[in-house]
Amino acid sequence: MVGSVSGESGLRESSMPTTLQAVASYMIAFCVATMIGAPAAACPVETDVCWALSCSQQQQNSESTVAVGRLKKSQSPDERLEATLVDLKRSSAPQEEPKSDDAKPNSAPQDEAKDQALQDLAEADVVHFFDIAALNSRWYRDPWALLNKPIYEINEPGDEFWDPYRQNILKGDFPLDDDDFFFRFTLTEKMTVEARNVPTARGITGPGPNNSSFFGDGDGLALSAKTAVTFDFFKGQEAFKPVDWRIRITPVFDFSSLNVNELGVINPNVNKGKNLHTTQISLQEALLEIHLFTWNDRYDFMSSEIGIFAFRSDFRGFIFDDINAGVRIFGNADDNKWQYNAVFFNMLEKDTNSLLNRFDERDQQVLILNLYRQDFLLKGYNSMISFHWNHDQRSSNFNINNFLTRPQPVGSARLKQVDAYYLGWAGEGHFGRFNITHAFYQVFGQEENNAFSGGDTNINAQFAAFEVSYDFDWLRVRLYGMYASGDDDPLDGDGEAFDAIVDAPNFAGGEFSYFNRQEVRLLGVGLTPRFSFLPDLTSSKNEGQANFVNPGLFLFGAAIDVELTPTWRAQLGVNYLRFAETEPLEIYLELEDVDNEIGVEIFFGTLYRPLLTNNILISVGASVLFPGDGMQKLYQSDDTLYSVFLDVTITY
């Protein structure tokens, strides 16, 4: 129903609810009554809402005549309008003139204006909504009146299917049909160049003069290029609720190159030389996700995954962080305050050079249960408890480069089985400007035929980590520490040193830390595996078996994180490292009085996102390790060790 106004700007019909329609009618009535000079007594009626619009007398006289109404709870909109008209007519009736000798001004023009307004009001239809933009009101302004309209359309579909910056059917922005079937295509190219110096044993044979030093030239250069193609089919609008089902497949193509200066590093056969070039094709994701239940209208749910998928079992990857074959049940509860996972992996072998999955089982099973609680006790603090079971069966393995990885090629070198059970509690959150991260794990179980103790061991080891940081606007200062227990008596039948399953800690510098990033070999085993802080004396983190007789670790450090620009972040830090115990090293190497000090490392890392998105990521890292007394005695050198890398990731 449309109300009449003078001129071309009109009042229009709307689907506003009945109550709001009446509110609008009353607002107009009150405004008009004020303009035409009705006494104040005409305003106070029984209402829940009373607004007054700012309207000038000039606008009333020259532009528009507006329909009015009245709001009262017990009446319909039409009845309220009729009551308002009655009140206005009563208030505009001639009043008895006060007795006075003073001359009164002529009120005839004003009375005529009142009569005309009331006549127009009586003939007008009931107004359900008025176009506020048609009025010159100081309460409303066209949002583009003072700004230049953008030259692009918000959420504009891309002109071409390869355009990654606008909505695109290949990115899953639009369904393939009307039944919420989506397809997402992702292409990722990751290129890494790394120069490093690590302690490297000399080959016992080969060209050139003999050298009495056991350790030789540790310089090396590694290159890696990985191309990942992800095909993701799913049903459901995942932005608002879990998908009904999903099929995701990610093949990865890898080229790796390694150049070293000593023989026997890339292969026991010295005829293989000092350079290695390999290619590998792997399936890093191949999963089926099925939505099982939705518990309520807040989309608390339970879903499942089966196939090859990535999983990290805690906040920082201290125990398990890998891509492998398994089954997962996951979901949430209580408006997403609780989150849970139950995961079982039947582990696959890894390629030695690319660290990608191979299509061979490795006789190892891992069970993980965890439970997260958001805003635990205090808002902003998230806590979790977890259980891990590592069941690593007796098996033997030579890696792609023909080195023995199972069993460890030291000591008794017998096949062994590991059953380790991890109980953990971890938390992460913030309290105002303070941020904290903490974790504690207790591991128990049994390890058969330990290479260093010469027999079975009963596992009883601990791990703890803590970090506190404070934010100064664009600057964050961090202090942190890590402890992994060591074994003070390798021959007593107790495995008191901590080891993880497949860790990849994002802690104390993470990938930018020398001691974490580099695999430092010590004869037939590694003092530390690649991308792990733990000095566990295993042959390989991915292809070997856990070892609970090792020296353990103390780590203390500090770092600053700087957000230089919205596209550029950097961090700078220093770590001090010590062995918790040295007896396992002394027995293994038949050395006396090995000092606990590993040394001091300084690391720097930066991440640059030139497009303000993650389509292009450029990461540069550099770190140096100044060996302490213990490290110098192990490797007969005080030379500074270094690592420098460039990592470029391009994603469509």
Q: How is 220-271 classified by DSSP, letter by letter?
A: EEEEEEEEEEEEEEEES-TTTS--SEEEEEEEEEEEEEEEESSTTSS-SSGG
How does pLDDT run across 504-547, given as a tens digit for each residue?
999 999 999 999 999 999 988 999 999 999 999 999 999 999 99
Integer Cα distance of 434 and 418 in angstroms? 40
- Stated as kind and residue range, the H or E segment containing 34 is helix 18-35
Q: Mention every residue, 6+ apart, whose C-beta is less than 8 A from residue 613.
A: none
pLDDT at site 283: 94
Integer Cα distance of 622 and 606 in angstroms? 9
Integer Cα distance of 303 and 465 in angstroms? 32
Integer Cα distance of 130 and 243 in angstroms? 43
Strands 553-565 and 525-528: unpaired
Domain ranges (residues) in the chain = 18-95+104-134, 181-410+426-452+461-651
Integer Cα distance of 567 and 62 in angstroms? 56
Which CATH fold topology does 181-410+426-452+461-651 show? Answer: Porin (2.40.160)
pLDDT at site 79: 58
Is the pTM higher than 0.85? The answer reads: no
Strands 475-484 and 434-447: unpaired
Among 351, 349, 352, 312, smallest CA distance to 328 is for: 312
Measure CA of the first residue to CA of the last residue in the chain; give whole Å: 53
Low-confidence ranges of the chain (pLDDT < 50): 1-26, 28-74, 77, 99-104, 126-140
- Torsional class of 155: left (φ above 0), alpha (ψ -120 to 50), beta (otherwise): left
Residues paired with residue 242 on neighbouring β-strands, in sequence order: none
Amino acid at 471: D
pLDDT at site 112: 74
Among 373, 315, 370, smallest CA distance to 340 is for: 370
Torsion 582-588-594-597 (CA) sign: negative
SS3 call for 193: strand
Q: Mention every residue, 6+ apart, whose C-beta is less than 8 A from residue 55.
A: 31, 34, 35, 135
For the packed helices 18-35 and 77-92, what is the interaxial angle rounded to 10 degrees? 10
Among 501, 461, 459, smallest CA distance to 366 is for: 501
